[in-house]
Amino acid sequence: MRLFSLGLLSIVIAISTLTPQPDERNTNPLSVSGEGVHSRRPQSATPSDSAVILTDAAGDFFGGVYLGEGLILTSWQAVAGERLLWNAEAGVAAQVRYQLPSYIDDGITQSWEQAIDLTLCHAGEENYRVASTVNSAPIEQVKSENRCLSYDLTQGMTVTHLGTATSIQVERLLYTNRRTDIALLETDGSALRAAFPNLRPVRLDVRPLQLGQALSSNQNRNYYEFDSLFTVLNALPAIETQPQQGNFDGSAQQTAVIPLRSILPQRLGQTRPTILVGQGYYSSDGGLVGLQWGVSSDGYTMFTPTTEWYNQLWQVNETLQNKHLTQALNNALVPNAVPGLNTIGDSFAAELGNTGYDVLHYNLNLTIDPFVHAVQGTATLQIKALYHHLASFTLDLRTMVVDDVEINGESVSFTQYERKLLIELSTPVDYGTILETAIHYSGIPVPTDTPYSNFFTVGLEYID
């Protein structure tokens, strides 16, 4: 009987270890401790040579990673005052006009960037309001009582390297994006190096994640430090929303994230290290694979993977022209060949769009035979690669037959499907490469139905 009991106990332990379970530390995404939107107690943050702690004017702590020469990468939540307008008690998200979908420091304030100039004032407990009046007190009075701060939370923000007491002032916000939940900050690179001689740049890891892959919240991880090890529960990102109250008006933050589970289950009396929003997760090579986002509605730890925002930083840097960011992007661990996708992921029309490039110019050279309704011609597209190491991409094409495809004057492999034309490059190209793409085709155009309307067809149609 004793042997049977021990065997049954072993089976129960094995099942509890292998079964994905919600992280029990904190299931409230708006909590002020643990893994909520922010944390005020980072006592046990994990040490790492590239990890930093950011402290804003409101006294909240966030994680970040050092990219080199004064550049800090962190979460959008760390820099946008909108999160201070997420009121858990009221159950509503910030109004649309108080949102910051994206911001880039180019000297021009776009209409969607206007929230960056707002002032937020304390309205009791953890609640803030946009400056006008607060609890019936004139805004001037509230400001005089130091109850207000800038919506741009990098104003007054400091950077600290783990294990040190020295702090360096953040100089400015370079870029942030609400959907991908990233922010790029700039500090004095010389001051940062002098204050934190052990701080070293992180290497971005943009390789696809695998189901069950082990990641660490400690860049210099030791596999005996199980508290810092996590398992990837889904290799593909899915949309999560926060705050989870207030979704009805569409104004909550929606981000593509990946769930994680701690390698070891929660043990009675165990206190795990706090994972700050914006803190990094690392592959076995020590490369950064993503940033902490928060906790999902069902209690799982979630992070934003580099695959969701790496190419976005390439596009942003066309405006910033930051050579240090260019160096960080070029040094990243990127697959040798990256395919463009044949969809933009539209939930209504899955076949809509293609990714990995931008068409800068179209030129059509057509010969039309009206007697047999035939068309023969060449479409020449000037295409700019938007993926680093782009190896293939797709175009929309129906009813016509492709005879040849040329890239910069040389024929390349292609495959024609019912709705798409897959073009394979002879050699993968870097971000920003211009490809002169010529598609030679012929056939008899036939009007086809479109899922977007019941009232008309698309294509060339002859009317007698």
What per-residue confidence (pLDDT) applies to 97? 81
What per-residue confidence (pLDDT) applies to 43? 41
Is the confidence at residue 394, as pLDDT, over 80? yes
Residue 463 burial class via C-beta count within 10 angstroms: exposed 0-12, middle 13-18, buried 19 and up: exposed
Is the confidence at residue 440, as pLDDT, over 70? yes
Give the end-to-end CA distance of the chain in Å, rounded to a whole number.
91
Averaged pLDDT for residues 23-49: 39
Give per-residue pLDDT as tens, 239-262.
888 876 655 556 688 899 999 998
Closest Cα to residue 134, out of 145, 146, 121, 119? 121
Average pLDDT of the chain?
A: 82
Is the confidence at residue 348, as pLDDT, over 80? no
d(CA 333, CA 288): 9
Radius of gyration of the chain (CA): 26
What per-residue confidence (pLDDT) applies to 125? 67
Percent of the chain with pLDDT over 70: 77
Per-residue HEC secondary structure of the chain comes to CHHHHHHHHHHHHHHHHHCCCCCCCCCCCCCCCCCCCCECCCCCCCCCCCEEEEECCCCCEEEEEEEECCEEEECHHHCEHHHHHCECCCCECCCHHHCCCEEECCCCCCHHHHHHHCEEEECCCCCEEECCEECCEEHHHHHHCCCEEECECCCCCEEEECCCCCCEEEEEEEEEECCCCEEEEEECHHHHHHHCCCCCCCCEECCCCCCCCEEECCCCCCCCCHHHEEEECCCCCEEEEECCCCHHHCCCEEEEEEEEEECCCCCCCCCCCCCCCCCEEECCCCCEEEEEEEECCCCCEEEEEHHHCHHHHHHHHHHHCCHHHHHHHHCCECCCCEECCCCCCCCCCCCCCCCCEEEEEEEEEEEEECCCCEEEEEEEEEEEECCCCEEEEEEECCCCEEEEEEECCEECCEEECCCEEEEEEEEEECCCCEEEEEEEEEECCCCEEECCEEEEEECCCCCC
d(CA 359, CA 382): 6
What per-residue confidence (pLDDT) applies to 87? 67
Give per-residue pLDDT as tens, 98-128.
889 999 999 998 999 999 988 888 776 667 8
CA angle 350, 353, 333 (to 5 degrees): 100
Q: Which residue has the tokens 């999560």?
A: 240
> In Å, what is the CA distance from 388 to each residue of 312, 350, 396?
10, 24, 22
Is the confidence at residue 220, as pLDDT, over 80? no
What per-residue confidence (pLDDT) applies to 90? 63
Averaged pLDDT for residues 123-135: 67
What per-residue confidence (pLDDT) applies to 42? 43
Give per-residue pLDDT as tens, 39-57.
433 444 444 489 999 999 8
pTM (2 decimals)? Answer: 0.81
Domain ranges (residues) in the chain: 23-328, 338-458
Region of poorest pLDDT, from 138-142, 159-163, 196-200, 347-351: 138-142
What per-residue confidence (pLDDT) applies to 17? 39
d(CA 328, CA 71): 10
Q: Which residue has the tokens 């040490």?
A: 47
User: How many residues in the chain?
Assistant: 464
* Class level of CATH domain 23-328: mainly beta
What per-residue confidence (pLDDT) applies to 30? 28
Topology of domain 338-458, CATH: Immunoglobulin-like (2.60.40)
d(CA 41, CA 271): 13
